[in-house]
Amino acid sequence: IKKIGILTSGGDAPGMNAAIRGVTRYAMYKGLTVEGILRGYDGLIHGDSTALTRRSVGGIIHRGGTLLKTARSEEFRTEEGRQKAYEWLQKNHIDALVVIGGDGSMKGAEKLSALGIPTITIPGTIDNDMPGTEYTLGYDTAVNTVLEAVNRIRDTASSHDRVAIVEVMGRHAGFIALESGMACGAEIVLVPEKKVTLKEVADHLVESHKQWKMSSIVIVAEGAVSGCDVLTYMKQHHPEMNPSLTVLGYLQRGGAPSARDAKMAGLFAQKAVDYLLSGGKDAVIGSIHDKIVATPYTEVDKYKFTIDENEYDLVHALGT
């Protein structure tokens, strides 16, 4: 292969820029040329791209967001859209495509592979919810962002003796909630993987209250229940606990990547390029048991990871 394309797709995540830089510079170091496709799969369909050079990816390793912009392309979901994308890649002599994105973006890449263009996916999503890897770019930064925010919320919650409910992202997974909950010493963490009723949450808080624990942090993963529902329930049944709600929202998607995200971006990039150059294709790069690996799309379902049961039990044991 001589020329590769690179795009970012789906929700942006800190570390995507570091991965763009890593893929571009490592590919050029190996003698390839690199075309940056703008706005995810939409850019392939509409032929929106720019040649990337060592210089054009300078000064971005520490920046959040994505230089290439991103989108959740509706058109790419259709067969006609994918055919247009494939034809554009052919016309522009792009021999392989590196996609940086989450689960949906990886499924898109797999469909493009089926048309005959080799693709590699680098996991980039704050949710950490992709098969084929225990770690996705952006996750570590998002957890640290939540931690910093909750530490501030705790100051005011404890000054006012309130129950502070904090809703975090994560889509259908509880990784962000559990890891940030562990790190900030939350009393309760609600995750989609574990069903808990609002009455059980309230009972737990009442018990803490009885033991003179006058303020508490409840971290709610958006996929478990809405923070608003927890707030409404608490206000109705336990107004004396003075409950408050903070929805952290898009705050979690921005900011400079953590050291771990920026470093992993470089390692994932190297593996993606090396794998392509060794004849590999149609795979997701990942970290499994601390090793950087490439797993063919057809086998990723063998490597599905979920929240740590011990951490889930421990966060509640320590928070009580």
Active site residues: 127
The distance of closest approach from Cβ of residue 286 to ligand F6P in the complex, given in angstroms and rounded to an integer, is 17
Rounded to whole angstroms, the Cα distance separating 258 from 14 reads: 8
169 is in an annotated binding site: yes
Output the CA angle 97-274-71, nearest 5 degrees.
30
Smaller CB separation from ligand F6P, 43 or 123: 123
Write the DSSP string, 60-91. Answer: -TT-SS-TT-----SGGGSHHHHHHHHHHHHH
Smaller CB separation from ligand F6P, 125 or 215: 125
Rounded to whole angstroms, the Cα distance separating 95 from 173 reads: 35
Phi/psi region, residue 152 (left: phi>0; alpha: psi -120 to 50; beta: rest), is: alpha
275 is in an annotated binding site: no
The distance of closest approach from Cβ of residue 166 to ligand F6P in the complex, given in angstroms and rounded to an integer, is 14
The amino acid at 155: D
260 is in an annotated binding site: no
Smaller CB separation from ligand F6P, 12 or 187: 12
Smaller CB separation from ligand F6P, 11 or 319: 11
The distance of closest approach from Cβ of residue 40 to ligand F6P in the complex, given in angstroms and rounded to an integer, is 12
Distances (CA, A) of 250 to 81, 84, 267: 29, 32, 27
114 is in an annotated binding site: no
11 is in an annotated binding site: yes
The distance of closest approach from Cβ of residue 307 to ligand F6P in the complex, given in angstroms and rounded to an integer, is 15
> Are 10 and 72 a contacting pair, CB within 8 Å?
yes
Question: What's the token pair of residue 164?
Answer: 């502070």
Contacting positions for ligand F6P (CB under 6 A): 11, 102, 125-127, 169-171, 222, 253
Residue positions counted in the chain: 320
* Binding-site entries for ADP: 21-25, 154, 185-187, 213-215
* Binding-site entries: 11, 21-25, 72-73, 102-105, 125-127, 154, 162, 169-171, 185-187, 213-215, 222, 250-253
